C-alpha cells in the first residue's frame, strides 16, 4: 500500500507539451489508492483533453470559475478545492505559471486554487533549456521554495524544441515516487520500527482440536495500519486470523501458538523502538497434547493444563530503549487490575477495555478504551471504531516518544 492511499491529491496542469504525461500520472495516483481531482489552465486543454482526465480520475475537471456549458453558470469553488486537497501537485509547471505563482498573479482558476490551498504544494517544472536556465525562472523557483513549496527537479533529455538538456519534466513514475518519499520522510515515525502482536493463539489438544479464544485480530491490524500511516516500519506478529494488510511497510509474521508468538517477538524485540502487545494470548495450554486425534470414548475428558510463557512480562524484564505497550481486557476491578499489570510488567502504557462495555472487546468493529501511562494518568475515550482507537493510541505513543 502506498503512503498516498486515501490522500486527496489535486493535480494542476498547465500549458506545456509535457501535459500529455498527466494521463499516466493520474493512473499512477489512482493505482496508489489516492483520490484525484484535476485543475487545468484553459490553454493546457490544447495538449490533453479534460475528457481523458475526467474519465481516469472519475471526477469532473475544472478549468474556469463557471462551467462553460452550464446555462445556470454554477460557480466552481476554488477555495473548497484548495481545502479538499491533502497535497497539490502542479505538473507540468511552465515558466509562465511559475512566475505567476511566485508573484501571486491570479489570472486563472488554477492560480486562484493554488493561492487558496493550505496543503503542501509540489511543482514539476517543464520548459525548454534556455527558459529553464533563465534568471527569471530561477528567481521564481527560489521564491516558491521560500514559500515552502517543493520542487520536483526537471531532468535532462530531448526537449520539444529538439535541443537536449535540462528542462524535461520528471517522468510520472518518478514524480509519484518523489512525493511518496517526501511524505514518508516527513512522518513522525519514519525511521522507527514498531512491533505489534495481534489475534488469538491456538494451543493444540490434538492434531485437530485446540484451546483458543474469540479474538479476531482486528484491533492489532488497525494499530499496524495506523503505525504504517505515520511512517513506521511495522513487524506484525499475528495468530490465526482472516485480517489482511495492504501496506508495504507492514511485515506480517504468522504464528499459531503462544510459544510461536513468544519466539517471534523475542527474535525482533531488540531492534524495535515501540512494542504494542494487543494479541489475546492463551494463558494455559494442554500439558501433554496428543499426536493423534483423541477418540470420543468417554462421557468426559480431563485435560491437564500448564501456564504459557508470559510474553509481555518477559519483554518488560529486558526492556531497554523500547516503549512497551500492553492491553488489559477485564471483567471486574478493571482499573485496579490494569494499573497492577502496568506496574508489574514494567509497561509505559496500558490500554484497558472492559467486556462490561457494550461494543467493546472481541470480534466487533468498535472498542471503548482507557489508556493509562506509567504515571497512572488515565485518558478515557468514548466508543469508537477500532481504526479510530488505533489512531488515539498512536497519538498517546507519540506523546511518550516526544516527552
- Please report, for residues 149, 229, 278, 399, the alpha-carbon distance to residue 351 in angstroms, rounded to integers and kept in the order given: 40, 20, 9, 15
Q: Is 166 helix (H, G, I), strand (E, B) or coil?
A: strand
How far is Cα 49 from Cα 47, in angstroms, rounded to an integer?
7
> What's the residue count for the chain?
403
- Is-catalytic flag, 213? yes
ω into residue 280 within 30 of 0, thus cis? Answer: no
How far is Cα 214 from Cα 372, in angstroms, rounded to an integer?
25
How far is Cα 158 from Cα 160, in angstroms, rounded to an integer?
7
Locus of grid cell 468514548: 382
C-alpha cell at 276: 504494542
Q: Is 32 helix (H, G, I), strand (E, B) or coil?
A: coil
CA nearest 175: which of 125, 100, 132, 110?
125
The secondary structure of 289-335 as a DSSP string is --SSPPP--SS-----EEEPP-HHHHHHHH-SS-EEEEEEEESSSHH
The dihedrals phi and psi of 222, each to the nearest 5 degrees, come to -65, -35
CA nearest 255: which of 297, 217, 208, 206?
217
Q: Which of 96, 213, 263, 337 is flagged as catalytic?
A: 213
CA nearest 13: which of 113, 106, 80?
113
| Residue 122 half-sphere exposure toward CB, CA atoms < 13 A | 25
Which residues are annotated as catalytic? 213
Amino acid at each position: 500500500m502506498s503512503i498516498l492511499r486515501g490522500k486527496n491529491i489535486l493535480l494542476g496542469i498547465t500549458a506545456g507539451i509535457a501535459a500529455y504525461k498527466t494521463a499516466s500520472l493520474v493512473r499512477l495516483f489512482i493505482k496508489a489508492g489516492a483520490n484525484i481531482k484535476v485543475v487545468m489552465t484553459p490553454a493546457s486543454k490544447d495538449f490533453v483533453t479534460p475528457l481523458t482526465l475526467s474519465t481516469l480520475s472519475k471526477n469532473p475537471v475544472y478549468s474556469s470559475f463557471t462551467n462553460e456549458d452550464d446555462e445556470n453558470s454554477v460557480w466552481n469553488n476554488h477555495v473548497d478545492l484548495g481545502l479538499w486537497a491533502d497535497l497539490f501537485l502542479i505538473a507540468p509547471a511552465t515558466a509562465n505559471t511559475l512566475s505567476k505563482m511566485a508573484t501571486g498573479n491570479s489570472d486563472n482558476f488554477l492560480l486562484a486554487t493554488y493561492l487558496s490551498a493550505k496543503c503542501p504544494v509540489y511543482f514539476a517544472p517543464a520548459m525548454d533549456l534556455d527558459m529553464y536556465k533563465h534568471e527569471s525562472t530561477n528567481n521564481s523557483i527560489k521564491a516558491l521554495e521560500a514559500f515552502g513549496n517543493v520542487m520536483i527537479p526537471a531532468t535532462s533529455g530531448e526537449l520539444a524544441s529538439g535541443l537536449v538538456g535540462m528542462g524535461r519534466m520528471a517522468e510520472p513514475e518518478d514524480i509519484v515516487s518523489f512525493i511518496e518519499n517526501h511524505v514518508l520522510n516527513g512522518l513522525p515515525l519514519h525511521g522507527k520500527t514498531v512491533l505489534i502482536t495481534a489475534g488469538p493463539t491456538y494451543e493444540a489438544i490434538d492434531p485437530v482440536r485446540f484451546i483458543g479464544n474469540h479474538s479476531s485480530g482486528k484491533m492489532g491490524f488497525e494499530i499496524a495500519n495506523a503505525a504504517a500511516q505515520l511512517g513506521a516500519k511495522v513487524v506484525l506478529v499475528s495468530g490465526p486470523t482472516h485480517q489482511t494488510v495492504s501496506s508495504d511497510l507492514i511485515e506480517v509474521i504468522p504464528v499459531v501458538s503462544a510459544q510461536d508468538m513468544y519466539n517471534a517477538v523475542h527474535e525482533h524485540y531488540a531492534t524495535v523502538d515501540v512494542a504494542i502487545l494487543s494479541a489475546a494470548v492463551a494463558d494455559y495450554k494442554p500439558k501433554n497434547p496428543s499426536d493423534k486425534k483423541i477418540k470420543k470414548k468417554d462421557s468426559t475428558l480431563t485435560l491437564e493444563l500448564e501456564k504459557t510463557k508470559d510474553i509481555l512480562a518477559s519483554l518488560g524484564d529486558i526492556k531497554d530503549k523500547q516503549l512497551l505497550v500492553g492491553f488489559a481486557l477485564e471483567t471486574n476491578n478493571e482499573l485496579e487490575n490494569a494499573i497492577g499489570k502496568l506496574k508489574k510488567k514494567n509497561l509505559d502504557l496500558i490500554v484497558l477495555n472492559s467486556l462490561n462495555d457494550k461494543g467493546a472487546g472481541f470480534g466487533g468493529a468498535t472498542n471503548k478504551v482507557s489508556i493509562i501511562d506509567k504515571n497512572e494518568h488515565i485518558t478515557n475515550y468514548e466508543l469508537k471504531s477500532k481504526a479510530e482507537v488505533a489512531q488515539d493510541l498512536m497519538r498517546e505513543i507519540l506523546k511518550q516518544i516526544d516527552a
